[in-house]
């Protein structure tokens, strides 16, 4: 059975659409889920999108992905800038990892400039809004198809 692409979202991303729309836009996380599913379908892949406001839950899901998912796309939200635990968990995952940020973290406050997760990510997409998730799906699908050819 084909393994799905797991799309993880960290704290406050459940508020997408209502949260600082001048920075994060008006689309919701459900809209993002739809875009990811549609993009993956073009490549014959499937996606499952999850969101948590809790660091440990994200770590548990990354552990689960080791056996159950082909690739991980992650927007760790604020945990990008603080979480060695999420980086350590991702370092145990063998498939492709893409990191997404809706905003351009490098053009914002200095504390957002470093992401621990970028140390493991195969691709990092910033500042493209929700479209960035679609680009990340395309990228991991390309990696997955390279892996079977
Ligand atoms: C974010 C950027 C982070 O700095 C912030 O804490 C978020 C969202 C983004 O998608 O632009 O929660 O990851």
pLDDT in tens, 46-80: 999 999 999 999 999 999 999 999 999 999 999 99
Atom 8 of ligand 1: nearest residue by CA position: 77
54-58, long-range: CB < 8 A, 24+ apart: 54/11, 55/10, 55/79, 55/83, 55/85, 55/86, 56/85, 58/8, 58/10, 58/86, 58/89
- For residue 103 and ligand 1, the question of a CB distance below 6 A is answered with yes
Instruction: Name the pLDDT band for 147 (thresholds 50, 70, 90).
Output: confident
Q: How far is ligand 1, taken at its centre, from the CA of residue 136, in Å?
A: 16
**In the predicted model, is pLDDT for residue 2 greater than 70?**
no
Span 22-48, average pLDDT: 97
- In this structure, what token pair is assigned to residue 68? 């159950």
Mean pLDDT across 121-137: 98
Residue with CA at minimum distance from ligand 1 atom 6: 78
Helix, strand, coil percentages (3-state) for the chain, rounded to 5, are: 50, 20, 30
Residues designated catalytic:
24, 101
Mean pLDDT of the chain: 96
Percent of the chain residues past pLDDT 90, beyond the cut: 95
What predicted TM-score, i.e. pTM, was given to this entire model?
0.96
Q: For the chain, which residues make up each domain, given as ranges?
A: 4-148
Is the separation of the CB atoms in 42 and 35 below 8 Å?
A: no
Distance of alpha carbon 37 from alpha carbon 105, whole angstroms: 25
What six digits make up the tokens of 120?
């493991």
Closest Cα to atom 13, ligand 1: which residue? 77
Q: Is the dihedral of CA 74, 75, 78, 82 positive or negative?
A: positive
The architecture CATH gives domain 4-148: 3-Layer(aba) Sandwich (3.40)
Work out the percent of the chain whose per-residue pLDDT is above 70. 97
Phi-psi domain of 118 (left: phi exceeds 0; alpha: psi -120 through 50; beta: other): alpha
């Amino acid at each position: 059975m084909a393994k799905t692409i797991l799309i993880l979202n960290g704290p406050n991303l459940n508020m997408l659409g209502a949260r600082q729309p001048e920075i994060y836009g008006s689309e919701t996380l459900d809209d993002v889920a739809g875009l990811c599913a549609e993009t993956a379908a073009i490549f014959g892949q499937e996606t499952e999108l999850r969101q948590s406001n809790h660091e440990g839950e994200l770590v548990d899901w990354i552990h689960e992905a080791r056996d159950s998912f082909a690739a991980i796309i992650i927007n760790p939200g604020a945990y990008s800038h603080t979480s060695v635990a999420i980086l350590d968990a991702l370092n145990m995952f063998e498939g492709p990892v893409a990191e997404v940020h809706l905003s351009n973290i490098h053009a914002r406050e200095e504390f957002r400039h470093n992401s621990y997760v970028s140390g493991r990510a195969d691709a990092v997409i910033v500042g493209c809004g929700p479209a960035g998730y679609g680009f990340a799906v395309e990228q991991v699908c390309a990696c997955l198809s390279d892996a079977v050819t």
